[in-house]
Structure formats: C-alpha cells, structure tokens
Amino acid sequence: MKKNLFFTRLSTYAWIFLLLASTTNAGAQSRSKNAVKTVANTQVPSGMSSGVIDAAIETAYLKYRGLKDGKNADYIPVLAEVNPELFGISMVTLDGKVYGKGDTSSRFSIQSISKVFTMARVIEEQGPKALMEKIGVDATGLKFNSIAAIELRKGKEINPLVNPGAIAATSMIGGATYDEKWNNILQTMSDFAGRELAVNEPVYKSEAATNQRNQAIAMLLSAYERLYFDPAQSTDIYTRQCAVNVDARDLAIMAATLANGGTNPVTGKRVVAAETVSHTLAVMATAGLYDDSGIWLFNVGLPGKSGVGGGIIAVAPGKFGIAAFSPRLDEAGNSVRAQKSITEVVNLLKANQFLVEPRAPKLAVSQVSQ
C-alpha cells in the first residue's frame, strides 16, 4: 500500500511539473511574439513604405509644379535674380533613405532656416535655461525683423527664430573670437547636413551691403544688455550663416537629424542631444514660419522653419524630415509652393502630430466574464 501511495504522489508531482513547464513555455512564447510585434512596429511605421512615400511626393510635386503665386524676395537684391521656376521636394526617413522630386540639387541660401541650428547649438552648449533667460522663447506677434519687438520688451522675451533673437543667439555661440564662433556655427550646420557646407559669397556680399536694419537691431540689443558679443561682429556672423548654400536634400537631412533625436540618419553622427532637439522643436512649432506660424501648425501639425531663400523644413519626430524649395514667397515671407507641397505630403502620409486614430474601447472585466 505504501508502494502504491508513493507512485500516486510521484505521478501527481510529475503532472504538476509538466503543467508548470507548459505554462512557463507558453508565457515565454507569448512574450516573444509580443516582442517581435513591438520591434516590427518600431522598424516599419504603418503606411510609410517607400512606394507610399514616392507616390506622396510625386502627387504633391505634380499638383503644385505649375503654381505661379508669390514673388522672389527682393530686399536682398541677389535673391530677386534666382530662377522663380525652381521647385523641389526631398524627404529623408530615419533609416537614411533619401527621396526626392524636382530641383532637389539646386543650391540656394539657407537664410532664416539657419536660425534653427544656431539655436540648437546654443542649447547644446549652455542649456535651455540659458536660452530662456538670455533670449526667450515666446512668439513676438510682430514681424521677424521688428525693432518694435525689442523696444516693447526691452530686449526680453523674444525668441531665436526672429532676427533680434537670432542675432543674440549667434552672439552666444561658443568662441572668444569671430572666427571661433563662425567655425562653430558652420561645423554644426555641416554636421546636420552630413557634408561640408560653404557660404554663397554673392549672397553674403549682397546681404552685408543691405543689412543696416539688422545692424540697428544688434546695437539696440547691446544697449539693453541682451547681446553677448560685439554688435558689428555678431551681425556679420549672422549674415554669413544666412548665406550658407544648401539644396533641398541637405535641408531634408538636417530636418531628419532633428527627427532622429539629434543623430544624423545618413552619417550616423550624433550632432546634438535628444533633449536639445525637444526644446528646438518646441520653438519651431510656435515661431517657425514668421507671422503664419499658427496657420502652419494648424494645417500641417509639425514643427517647421522657413527662409526667404525659398526653403522650408518640417520635422516629423521619430519618422522623417522633409524639405521643399521654391523661390516665390507669400506676404509673410514663406515659399508658396514649399508650404503647399509639404502640407500635401504630410496629409497624404497622415504624419500630422495631432492626428490621433480612434481606438475601439476595451471591454470591462465584468463584460468579459459574462
């Protein structure tokens, strides 16, 4: 009888062991499947295949290629001479793939888009608190080159994406001399673009000969102790950074570097920290397109930045960077075709940051048990 009891207990223990092993194995398989799903979802965003991206860019390009609205910037004489028919769209995804249509290799001056990368360098070097205390991050509600904005706020609470704040940001860049500051700025922009950038000398000379307003802005900031380097040299460095030559592909890579948390997706180089990017994108969202920043965010739902050279960038965090170029501008100083084409692509790809797809509600525990 004791022998039978022993075998009965042994059989019971064996059954329990097999049950536990089976349950553990099933749980491990379930976790493994969930992990595979997570990785797959991370690597392949829904609706973002190469074919879909190409089709979206092609659609936007063909739709707006014939648009003639707007005119070239003429307050910088050499910009008025740029071929107004040029038009290109480029996108770079976080796996480093480059897409494009049209005049994506045509070079033009970066202009105010440069402000984004100078701001990012200042944040990287000195931290977001220094930027807020020494410049500010609020939209002014006035023109991008407004002197009144300085007087009304006594140089405070402007932002790095309008001329007064941008000149102040340039003055904050690390370096004890003109050359050190300039080399720091140019290297930062080159790292974002993934190649060595250079100044368009005719554009620089044209701007330097007509930038009296920016010189006045720098002097006024200095009077309010809101400039942190020599006024004349700060203005000249700022003028030079705006004259850096880029093309739509360069800008798309620069935007994609922001979308990738500060790491260039083409070169793999870490340019700035992810925290720096988050602060940079916040200012782009609120003040990136001059007087029409609110309209842009309402229509596109992505941080963006424009320049009077005809370029615009937009950043879809964790997805892609996109840029478009066309010299004809609207009254706010933003490229007409670049705005419309980027808006079209973003909407076709459903990349608006504020677009939330509804989900079916989960059943309550009581409903499941029934």
Instruction: Give the annotated binding-site residues for substrate.
Output: 112, 163, 207, 214, 238, 290, 308
Characterize 303-341 residue by residue with b for buried, 16 or more Cβ atoms within 10 angstroms of its Cβ, and e for exposed.
bbbbbbbbbbbbbbbebbbbbbbbbbbbebbbbbbbbbb
Strand 320-325 to 311-316 pairing: antiparallel
Q: Other C-beta atoms within 10 Å of 365: how many?
A: 8
SS3 370: coil
Residues 52, 58, 63, 67: what is their CA dihedral angle, to the nearest 10 degrees? Answer: 140
Q: Which residues of 186-208 are buried (b: 16+ CB within 10 A; e: fewer)?
A: bebbbbbbbeebebbeebbebbe
Cα dihedral 150, 152, 154, 158 in deg (nearest 10): -50
* 126 DSSP 8-state letter: H
φ, ψ at 316 (rounded to 5°): -105, 95
Q: Which residues in 66-76 are b (16+ Cβ under 10 Å) and which e?
A: eeeebebbeeb
Distance of CA 35 to the CA centre of its chain: 30
